[in-house]
Amino acid sequence: MNIEGVRAIYLFEMARMRRTLLQSVVSPVITTSLYFIVFGAAIGSRMQEVDGISYGAFIAPGLIMLTLLNQCIGNGSFGIYFPKFTGTIYEILSSPISTAEILIGYVGAAATKGLIVGTIILLTASAFVDISIAHPFLMALFFVLTAVTFSLFGFMIGIWAKDFEQLNIFPMLVIPPLVFLGGSFYSINMLPPFWQTVSHFNPVLYLVSGFRWSFYEIADVNPAVSLAIVVGFLVACLSVTAWIFKTGYKLKS
Amino acid sequence: MAPIVSIRNLTKRYATGFTALKGVDLDIEEGEILALLGPNGAGKTTMISIICGIVTPSGGTVTVAGHDILADYRKTRSIIGLVPQELTLDSFETVWSTVSFSRGLHGRKPDPALIERILKDLSLYDKKDTMLRHLSGGMRRRVLIAKALSYEPKVLFLDEPTAGVDVSLRKDMWQLVERLRAAGVTIILTTHYIEEAEEIADRIGVINGGRILLVEDKKALMTKLGRKQLTVELAEPLAAIPPSLAPFGLALAGTGERLVYEFSTTGERTGISSLLSALSQAGLRVRDVSTEQSSLEDIFVELVGEDR
Ligand SMILES: Nc1ncnc2c1ncn2[C@@H]1O[C@H](COP(=O)(O)OP(=O)(O)OP(=O)(O)O)[C@@H](O)[C@H]1O
Ligand SMILES: [Mg+2]
């Protein structure tokens, strides 16, 4: 195993992220604070509790997930897209390093940064509302699994994207609606039956619901199902990535 | 000794349908310097990219030190170094960090002393903390070389290392190649400058249209080049060469009005004066005499021209 190679990629990526850390921490912190001020304090004060907890506390897990997904997809995709774009990928391709090792380097770094920013958001949230974590271990498991899975998903987008527009489609256009419609700001029980059914096709619902269960033991879907869906998605992403490297799809001509 | 790089019937058809390599066979000996000459689009970069793992081959095999480049990629890629043709570097990294990165990527433990020496050798040490985007083209080229040397490859591919490089840097580069060779590194370089190939290569290969047209020892090539042709134009055409002129090994050309004599400029005597006196003794009247020398450039142009 080429441990030095993995370390080189990981540290390279972490250094790149450190250069943009300010922007990647400040912007989600501001956004999250705004959500808490607008939804939590202004609107939430007029709202009833949801499933027995204050509205502000209810939305916190969803907001953390929103940031985590965006960070991981953004970092994962940019990390591999950029060398492809500039041509420096030649060095990775001509190195004695395996697919798995490349993945550990890039995805590991993207997930690490996602987890750092996610933790900062969790702390920000706890400054606004009372947050209790009923199952810290499960919460950490969801946190890490989601970070890894979506960093990997981002990695795939980075390989697939042929320009910056495609690179941004997921973080800008796909993730926000899925997060907003995935029960981050409401319990799907509040929806009419038809929309409840539709919501069950939204993968983010399972993430947010499972994650929230680890905080407050309230969920829209069975937490075991949530966990299974995340693991399933992780396996799917791993398979696609393995295929990408095997065939050289969009990496080698 | 078994060749360090062995290429057999290598083909490459790009997704566009274009066939860039049409069955290349080439053996590269350990410790030699092989210069690959070929016009734009000949397939030089394609061939190198396949050996290094950047492009997937469509057919054929390549082994490096006996290991297959696909099955045993870890072994082959830790032996091979590559300095690519394009000046592709990260903009925001420093010289030092990008060179150290290359070493790590190739599975080598950090060795700051080695990197310092490489940077000093390439006159880059005073730029070690400079961001790559603030470097000039020639400096970037040197950084790419430093990156490739950082992991101490045994076989080094230099894809047009002296393109866009000034005369003094070119001389430095040649010296560097000489030093690497002394350290036992096998070097394959592509170039468009024939005098560069003449200057530093042990063997010269010519590639065109995805095929190797010639691979020859530079010395053998140079002796060929050291040969001159003397053409004697006669006043009256001959039907056959008179027996008295047989020792000169002449050839009759045209419709018998031209005699062609080949001689070596490196030999002690050319035999021109004795030929001329033998001609007059045989009673032949000479109208004109001309000499011609072929250069590597001629050979190259001729080969590539015929191939078109
Ligand atoms: N990715 C690609 N897709 C399709 N065709 C390609 C690709 N890369 C190279 N080619 C074609 O393959 C041929 C050989 O290209 P290559 O880069 O190997 O030439 P070269 O000998 O290195 O030329 P040069 O001296 O200009 O660097 C060219 O006709 C080129 O257009
Ligand atoms: Mg080329």
Q: Which CATH number covers residue B297?
A: 3.30.70
Query: Average pLDDT, whole number, for chain B?
Result: 87
ipTM: 0.84
Average pLDDT over residues B212-239: 81
Q: Which residues line ligand 1 (CB under 6 A)?
A: A 253; B 14, 16, 18, 20, 38, 40-46, 85
Each residue's pLDDT tens digit, B291-306: 776 666 666 776 666 6
What crossing angle do the helices spanning B137-149 and B167-182 adopt, rounded to 10°?
10
pLDDT for position B294: 64
Domain co-membership, B111 together with B123: yes
How sure is the predictor about A129, in pLDDT bands with cuts at 50, 70 and 90?
A: confident
Domain co-membership, B127 together with B207: yes
Structural domain includes residue A236? yes
Each residue's pLDDT tens digit, A137-169: 999 998 999 999 999 999 999 988 888 888 888
How sure is the predictor about B225, in pLDDT bands with cuts at 50, 70 and 90?
A: low
Domain co-membership, B95 together with B217: yes
Residues 6+ apart with CB under 8 A from B87: B137, B140, B141, B144
Each residue's pLDDT tens digit, A65-117: 888 998 899 889 999 998 988 889 999 999 999 888 998 999 999 999 999 99
pLDDT for position B260: 87
B55 Cα–ligand 2 center, Å:
13
pLDDT for position A66: 87
C-alpha to C-alpha distances, A195 to A174, A200, B308, nearest whole angstrom = 18, 9, 68
Q: Which domain holds residue B60?
A: 5-222
Q: Which domain holds residue A168?
A: 3-247
Q: Which of B192, B222, B252 represents a domain boundary (last residue)?
A: B222
Q: Which residue has the higher pLDDT, B199 or B205?
A: B205
Domain co-membership, B261 together with B183: no
Interface of B with A in 138-177 (CB under 8 A): 147
Nearest chain B Cα distance for residue A105, angstroms: 11
Structural domain includes residue A252? no
Q: Which residues of B touch A98 (CB under 8 A)?
A: 74
pLDDT for position B267: 63
How sure is the predictor about B20, in pLDDT bands with cuts at 50, 70 and 90?
A: very high
Domain co-membership, B209 together with B234: no
Q: Token pair of B181, please?
A: 């060779």
Judge contact between A129 and A215, C-beta under 8 A. Answer: no
Domain co-membership, B111 together with B25: yes
Residue A96 to residue B147, Cβ atoms within 8 A: no
What angle (nearest 5°) sits at the alpha carbon of residue B22, between those of residues B17 and B28?
Answer: 135
Domain co-membership, B100 together with B232: no
Task: Please give the tally of structural domains in chain B.
Answer: 2
Domain co-membership, B156 together with B240: no
Task: Please give the tally of structural domains in chain A.
Answer: 1
Average pLDDT over residues B49-54: 94
Most informative mutation of B10, B21, B46, B158 for ligand 1 (most atoms within 8 A of CB): B46
Radius of gyration, alpha carbons of chain A = 19
Q: Which of B169, B202, B222 represents a domain boundary (last residue)?
A: B222
* Dihedral of the alpha carbons of B168, B171, B172, B173, in degrees to the nearest 10: 120
Domain co-membership, B295 together with B200: no
Residue A94 to residue B15, Cβ atoms within 8 A: no
Helix (H/G/I), strand (E/B), else coil: A211? helix
Structural domain includes residue A216? yes
Each residue's pLDDT tens digit, A12-34: 999 888 888 777 788 888 888 88
Residue B105 to residue A95, Cβ atoms within 8 A: yes
CA B200 to chain centre: 9
B56 Cα–ligand 1 center, Å:
14
Q: Which of B154, B189, B222 represents a domain boundary (last residue)?
A: B222
If you count residue pairs, one on A and one on B, with CB atoms under 8 Å apart, how many are there?
82
Closest to A206 (Cα-Cα) out of A124, A135, A116, A146: A146
Ligand nearest to the CA of B193: 1
Q: Of ligand 1's atoms, which has the minimum distance to the CA of residue B85?
A: 27
C-alpha–C-alpha distance, residues B260 and B270, integer Å:
14
pLDDT for position B266: 63
pLDDT of B15 strictly over 80? yes
Q: Token pair of B278, please?
A: 């033998």
Domain co-membership, B181 together with B218: yes
Structural domain includes residue A222? yes
Identify which of B76, B88, B107 has the shortest CB distance to residue A88.
Answer: B88
Structural domain includes residue A238? yes
Domain co-membership, B183 together with B142: yes
DSSP states of A25-80 as a string? HHHHHHHHHHHIIIIIIIIGGGSPPBTTB-HHHHHHHHHHHHHHHHHHHHHHHHHH
Judge contact between A91 and A171, C-beta under 8 A. Answer: no
B172-203: b or e for each residue (b if 16 or more CB lie within 10 Å)? bbeebbeebbeeebbbbbbbeebebbbbbbeb
β-strands B67-68, B59-64 pairing: antiparallel
Domain co-membership, B51 together with B96: yes
Judge contact between A74 and A111, C-beta under 8 A. Answer: no
Residues 6+ apart with CB under 8 A from B290: B230, B231, B233
pLDDT for position A151: 94
What angle (nearest 5°) sits at the alpha carbon of residue A45, between those of residues A43 and A50?
Answer: 90
Residue A96 to residue B84, Cβ atoms within 8 A: no
Residue B192 belongs to domain with CATH number: 3.40.50.300
pLDDT of A195 strictly over 90? no
Average pLDDT over residues A230-243: 89
3-state secondary structure chain B: CCCCEEEEEEEEECCCCCEEEEEEEEEECCCCEEEEECCCCCCHHHHHHHHHCCCCCCEEEEEECCEECCCCHHHHHHHEEEECCCCCCCCCCEHHHHHHHHHHHCCCCCCHHHHHHHHHHCCCHHHCCCEHHHCCHHHHHHHHHHHHHCCCCCEEEEECCCCCCCHHHHHHHHHHHHHHHHCCCEEEEEECCHHHHHHHCCEEEEEECCEEEEEEEHHHHHHHHCEEEEEEEECCCCCCCCHHHHHHCCEEECCCCEEEEEEECCCCCCCHHHHHHHHHHCCCCEEEEEEEECCHHHHHHHHHHHHC
Query: Average pLDDT, whole number, for chain A?
Result: 86
Closest to A92 (Cα-Cα) out of A239, A247, A245: A245
Residue A88 to residue B89, Cβ atoms within 8 A: yes
Each residue's pLDDT tens digit, B143-162: 999 999 999 999 999 999 88
Nearest chain B Cα distance for residue A95, angstroms: 6
Alpha helices in A47-191 (DSSP H): 55-86, 89-93, 99-128, 136-160, 164-168, 175-180
Helix (H/G/I), strand (E/B), else coil: A222? coil
Residues facing B59 on adjacent strands: B11
